[in-house]
Amino acid sequence: MVTPDLSVRLGSLRLRNPVLTASGTFGYGLEFLPFLSLEEIGGIVVKGLSPKPRKGNPPERIVETPSGMLNAIGLQNVGVDAFLAEKLPELRRHDTAVVANVFGETIPEYVEVCAKLDAAEGIAAIELNVSCPNVEAGGMAFGADAASLARVTRACRDATRLPLWVKLSPNVTDIRETARAAEAEGADAVSLVNTYVGMVVDVERRRPVLANGCGGLSGPAIRPLAVWATWQVSRAVAIPVVGMGGIASGRDAVEFLLAGASAVQVGTASFVHPDASVRIAREIGSWLAGHGLASVREIVGTLRTGKEERR
């Protein structure tokens, strides 16, 4: 049996295999070195970076839910300068694509981080987290409507030549609209989904469990929602789609690939099994081999809904 070719292309960026790790679930990558080799995955997306270090939200920050978890970490991070000075040089010793996840509370903050990353060596792409509240626009998330998403995408596009991915929030009426806005303003790819907003109540205390009140839902609980969003978006835009949400096995990843994702990200699963991303990449290979397929690229977007035959 031939070993299937797992390499994929996202615009100008070539990845060894379609599995990346999702932002906020893989630290700065180095924390995982006891458990896996970064050379066995397509790449890593680091924890969201802001212009200055951020302290994050008070605890409680997380709570388990049926087949998932809710988090309100509050984007605690070391800041872009410390990342570039302390983490990136270490990461560059490993042959893997490093994608920098970026957020800000204002458009100039996004631009500042993008410009600093652009000037650095060793960043494969920038992923914009647009689920952050827009302080200038009264705290509504940048990703909540197509117009503000368009503005932040354009500003960052003008600040960097690096491949620019926009990570879409699923907390919108029609995710295809924000996807099209990202494409129109020069994004090289869209990634989706970020977490779904939810709440868990402590009925004895009559309070939300999380200090922040609400939090973002991730894990297998959101997988069908995320597959659906991936399928919708992949038919609405021509740029590559990176899919994620509850992926815990190679089969889960194949769902996203069939639904139109050119690559996938693994998030919450890495908390439970630190080597999950590597295992998932291998399982995609076995699945392809088991189906006599030579390349993962053959299956991207080949989902059949049955409706096309009936038409």
Partner 1 sequence: MPRDLSVEIASHRDLGGGNHLLEVEAAPLARETAPGQFFMIGFPGADTLLRRPFSVCGLPGTFDGSSRSAVHVLYKVVGRGTEHLASRKPGSPLSILGPLGRGFDLELGAGTEALLVAGGIGSAPFPALAAALGARGIRCTLLYGARSASDLPLLDWFRARAPEVIVTTEDGSAGTRGLVTDPLRERLARGGNVRILACGPNPMLREVAAIAREASVPCEVSLEARMACGFGVCLGCVVPTRRGEGGETAYERVCVEGPVMPAEKLAW
Nearer to partner 1, 24 or 260 (CB): 24
Distance CA 97, CA 15 (A): 7
Q: How far is CA 300 from CA 45, 269, 295, 307, in A?
A: 21, 22, 10, 18
Q: Cβ 62 to partner 1, closest distance in Å?
A: 4
Q: Cβ 309 to ligand FMN, closest distance in Å?
A: 32
Beta-strand (E) ranges in the chain?
8-10, 13-15, 19-21, 43-45, 62-65, 68-71, 97-102, 125-129, 164-167, 189-192, 196-198, 201-202, 207-208, 215-218, 241-244, 263-266
Burial class (CB in 10 A: 0-12, 13-18, 19+), 235: middle
Q: Cβ 124 to ligand FMN, closest distance in Å?
A: 16
CA nearest neighbour of 154 among 117, 124, 175, 184: 184
Q: Can you read off the two tokens belonging to residue 293?
A: 């397929």
| Contact between 103 and 49 (Cβ < 8 Å) | yes
Distance CA 189, CA 102 (A): 15
Nearer to ligand FMN, 96 or 195 (CB): 195
Interface residue with ligand FMN among 8, 19, 75, 162 (CB under 6 A) is 75
Q: Cβ 282 to ligand FMN, closest distance in Å?
A: 18
Q: Can you read off the two tokens belonging to residue 16?
A: 């060894």
55 interacts with, out of partner 1, ligand FMN, none, CB within 5 to 8 A per kind: partner 1
Taking CB under 6 A as the binding criterion, the range among 4-12, 28-36, 229-237, 266-274 that sits at the site for ligand FMN is: 266-274
Nearer to partner 1, 75 or 236 (CB): 75
- Residue 18 interacting with ligand FMN (CB under 6 A): no
Q: Cβ 98 to ligand FMN, closest distance in Å?
A: 15
Nearer to partner 1, 228 or 271 (CB): 271
If you ran DSSP here, which 8-state letter would residue 1 be given?
-
Nearer to ligand FMN, 86 or 298 (CB): 86
Q: Cβ 259 to partner 1, closest distance in Å?
A: 23
- Residue 156 interacting with ligand FMN (CB under 6 A): no
Residue 93 contacts by C-beta under 8 Å, 6 or more apart in sequence?
A: none
- Residue 246 interacting with ligand FMN (CB under 6 A): yes
CA nearest neighbour of 22 among 296, 242, 285: 242
Query: For ligand FMN, which residue has the nearest CB?
Result: 24
196 interacts with, out of partner 1, ligand FMN, none, CB within 5 to 8 A per kind: none
Q: How many CA atoms lie within 13 A of 114 on its CB side?
A: 28
- Residue 253 interacting with ligand FMN (CB under 6 A): no
- List, by residue number, the catalytic residues: 132
Binding characters for ligand FMN, 167-196, by CB under 6 A (x = yes) = x--------------------------xx-
Distance of alpha carbon 283 from the chain centroid: 20
Binding site residues, partner 1, CB under 8 A: 24-27, 31-32, 34-35, 47, 55-56, 58-64, 67-69, 71, 73, 76, 219-220, 268, 270-275
Interface residue with ligand FMN among 50, 218, 234, 262 (CB under 6 A) is 218
CA nearest neighbour of 277 among 64, 2, 16: 16
- Residue 243 interacting with ligand FMN (CB under 6 A): no
Residue type at 112?
Answer: E
User: What are the residues binding ligand FMN (CB under 6 A)?
Assistant: 22-25, 47-48, 71, 73, 75, 101, 129, 167, 194-195, 218-219, 222, 244-247, 266-269
